[in-house]
Structure 1
């Protein structure tokens, strides 16, 4: 036993080994020393149990590999092959190159965030986006916060935050991801919920009756972007609500949720109400997201009447919900792309992925099939299959996009084999996330652009399956 313990190298000896020196160079002496001590503790346990021991170089190599593994960030890039373009759990919209470059420049440098270079006086961070948003939407004024839920919360708190009544159709009391419900947001904002109509039908007379009551502060219209009620239905259009609200002397707030600035039918997609349309329909305030159909970073936009935006900006909550210089830079660069709609689909990843043609995706799937067959190692039957992609993040929930993918079906027909495959795919150097359907694992290729990197990554799958 004593002889075994004497064979264990010292910390200093390991630090002087080639692997130890590499660990110091990569992670610093403190981190390297601490990790080597942990490995040596395990070696002492091995000595007590009579197992073979590592020499100094092997101990250093193990410590270095452990340091490398622990240094990998948890917010890892993945291949999103789920078929959902705007996948909330995978970060929603991919940013345009121009937005990435603008954000990186803002991170590297001091910037004139709240500083007027012309006058040398303090400025407002909203000034970087205000004119752009107003030009693109036709709104009088605009402000931005960290997401659309915050935009709705801040608006309701400003306009109805002391128990003021907020009239909303029962069919528009939505729940968004993470069990966040509109009634809960209204309660936290200090507004009093005034439901009108029924789940499937709300009439103009319902709003008129509610507007005749005391204490009404606003009318709220919510675009049901994450579900659709069909059949025997009725809703009151925003333009009609705007007239009713104006006659009653209260503002109309139109929450578009996944708002878009352009007509999507140009790229073969189903029409979604645009922010400009909502403004032209005379909503007093319109709120919408930045990281969904708009294709930018997470943000919540509030646009509309100048006096109401001014009141919203004076709300102390605004400071708690504001965005930083990095996000502002990325938003500005994203919005500028909309000035050139003819090249928007080339430059904006969200629109580019949504507008991809099935034939293009099919050609990619056929080219990648040999890699997939080789990676499957005979354990799975690999086929090129048609898929139905979806937009995601609550946008156009019933609409699908014709796509193509790779199907992995276990030869033995077992569900456990599919689970092992899904685990192995997530364990690749760049994790691959697909979806399981009808007894197979499907990799929908709509969101795949770097085929060479994906093929090289997939070639490592057999290691994980083994």
Structure 2
């Protein structure tokens, strides 16, 4: 029977001559259509040989399958999604969304020649970080600033320039894994620095650092544990005390803040997140943090601190390998200007999402729920607790509301898959056999797209 089914499969040229397939060449490149035909027929052949198929579908069904494959293959791999998870800084979905001003700034410099390394006033070569250095020093109160492509690169550059061949003293309780198995001890090893652990997992005292200082010590380092918490019987050395110890022993003090924030976020419900300004004011020599987390800008590693230290970083050969491009700098400059103009909390999507009150979120969820019910979808509004981010304050949650959809006979997993595999993917969560769309990370201009998708997927 398999041989009979195999003989019934049309040839590639035969299917390409079908009018509906020929019409596809007006929408897609001819090569894409041909490849789609081959892929569909090959999949059909494979299924028949595996014994898992009834007689081959008719040509109309095959042509529809060809169009689906062609459409899929021409979609950009990196494309926008609708985030219904409620996770504001979702690592897998690009973390912080840029503001309109930042996105426009990046587009403008991408489409034209620009002043990346050109000093207009002097008519000579300039420095790329000059576009943001003044803004950073003004906002933070540091002597100097530098930007690289992410915070891991910032740590790599700092340790390479300041600690190669020597020891760096770090609390055992702060030996974090940044993400993607990128660990602080391994970074040190890569930089040619040796790790000197002090204290215990839950308690480290100033005396532990002091006793560990020796002739090979190059720096003292503090790492903010932004992606985990040690609770209970704990003790850590405050930045000001560690900075004072460093000054008394002639050693620079480094602090990796991870997420990094320029605003006190306690009133938004985020606890124990230090500001960059606090670290600099405490006397830390060099501080690094991310641009695409709590700052709300593009991916970047921002380094601030004493000019004497940052000049070493600028002169290090590794700096050229980790420097940022024109689009990142343009977006970062626009983001920082929002802080200078005191519009950050309303202009930057990350801060605006975090600042939403539960009542605002409940009303938004009710509007989406009403639209879904009008479309025949079985939905209701339920209270939720939102995680702020995966690698950014993951242990803290904020109260929110979500639209909970009860799936049809195919089940909740089928609904989640169908929503995720749309041309513009819609990413929700599954809980208690219901499909959840959290209001915190949804925009109202996305509601019609969501409702249309639910109607089609549940049909």
Aligned-residue offset at 1:272: 1.9
| Native 8 Å contact 2:173 2:202 kept in 1 | yes
Inter-partner Cα distance in structure 1 for 2:387 and 2:299: 20
Q: Separation in 1 of the partners of 2:419 and 2:58?
A: 34
Aligned to 1:106: 109
Report 1:234-383 matches (<5 A).
Answer: 234-267=235-268, 269-270=270-271, 272-341=273-342, 343-373=343-373, 382-383=379-380
Q: Please say which of residues 383-392 and 36-45 is displaced more in the overlay.
A: 36-45
Does residue 387 of the first structure (1) align with residue 387 of the second (2)?
Answer: no
Q: Is the 8 A contact 1:8 1:43 kept in 2?
A: no
Q: Is the 8 A contact 2:291 2:299 kept in 1?
A: yes
Question: Which segment is superposed worse, 318-327 or 258-267?
Answer: 258-267
2:184 to 182, 185, 192: 182
1:324 deviates by 0.8
How far apart in 1 are the matches of 2:154 and 2:12?
A: 60
1:123 is matched with which residue? 126
Aligned residues between the structures: 447
Residues 326/200 of structure 1: CA separation in 2 closer, same or farther (3 Å cut): same
Q: What pairs with 1:37-52 in structure 2 (closer than 5 Å)?
A: none
Residues 115 and 169 of structure 1: is their aligned pair in 2 closer, same or farther, counting only changes over 3 Å? same
Cα distance in structure 2, aligned partners of 1:362 and 1:50:
51
Pair 1:316–1:59, CA change in 2 (3 A): same
Counterpart of 1:218?
Answer: 219
- In the alignment, the residues of structure 2 paired with residue 446 and residue 43 of structure 1 have an alpha-carbon distance, to the nearest angstrom, of 43
Deviations 1:3-28 (A, max 9, x none): x99x989689949x6863x5444444
- Secondary structure of 2:313's match? helix
Task: For 1:313 and 1:257, locate their aligned partners in 2 and report how far apart those are by CA, in whole Å.
Answer: 21
Alpha-carbon separation, structure 1, partners of 2:200 and 2:376: 52
Aligned equivalents of 1:27, 1:294: Cα separation in 2? 41
1:172 maps to what in 2? 174
Q: Deviations over 1:305-344 (max 9, x none)?
A: 1121111111111111111111111111111110122x32
Aligned to 2:75: 72
Summarize the Cα distance change of 1:373–1:54 in structure 2 as closer, same or farther, 3 Å threshold: same
The Cα shift of 1:70 comes to 1.1
Shift of 1:127: 1.2
3-state secondary structure, aligned to 2:245: helix
Match of 2:401 among 391, 399, 404: 404
User: Is the 8 Å Cα contact of residues 86 and 441 (structure 2) preserved in structure 1?
Assistant: yes
Structure 1 segments unaligned to the other structure (5+ residues): none
Whether contact under 8 Å (1:134, 1:140) holds in the other structure is yes
Q: Where does residue 460 of structure 1 map in the other structure?
A: 453
Native 8 Å contact 1:8 1:53 kept in 2: no
Q: CA deviation at 1:422?
A: 1.6
Deviations 1:389-417 (A, max 9, x none): 121143333322110012235688xxx82
Q: 1:133 aligns with which of 119, 133, 136?
A: 136
Distance in structure 2 (CA, Å) of the matches to 1:394 and 1:9: 49
Residues 143-202 of structure 1 show CA distances to partners (whole Å, capped at 9, x for unaligned) of 11111011011101110122x110000111111222221111111121110011111111
Q: Relative to structure 1, is the Cα distance of residues 39 and 274 closer, same or farther in structure 2, using a 3 angstrom cutoff? A: closer
3-state DSSP class of the match of 1:397?
coil
Counterpart in the other structure of 1:431: 425
Q: CA deviation at 1:432?
A: 2.0
2:292 and 2:12 map into 1 onto residues whose CA distance is: 54
Q: 1:222, 1:30 → 2: CA distance?
A: 52
Residue 383 of structure 1, CA deviation: 2.6
Over 3 Å counting, the alpha-carbon distance change for 1:39 and 1:293 in structure 2 is closer
2:438 to 431, 444, 448: 444
3-state secondary structure, aligned to 2:202: coil
CA distance in 1, matches of 2:340, 2:13: 65
TM-score by length of 2: 0.87
SS at match of 2:384: strand
Give the Cα separation in 1 of the matches to 2:437 and 2:320: 43
SS in 2 for 1:229: coil
Per-residue deviation, 1:290: 0.3
Contact 2:173–2:201 (Cα < 8 Å) also in 1: yes
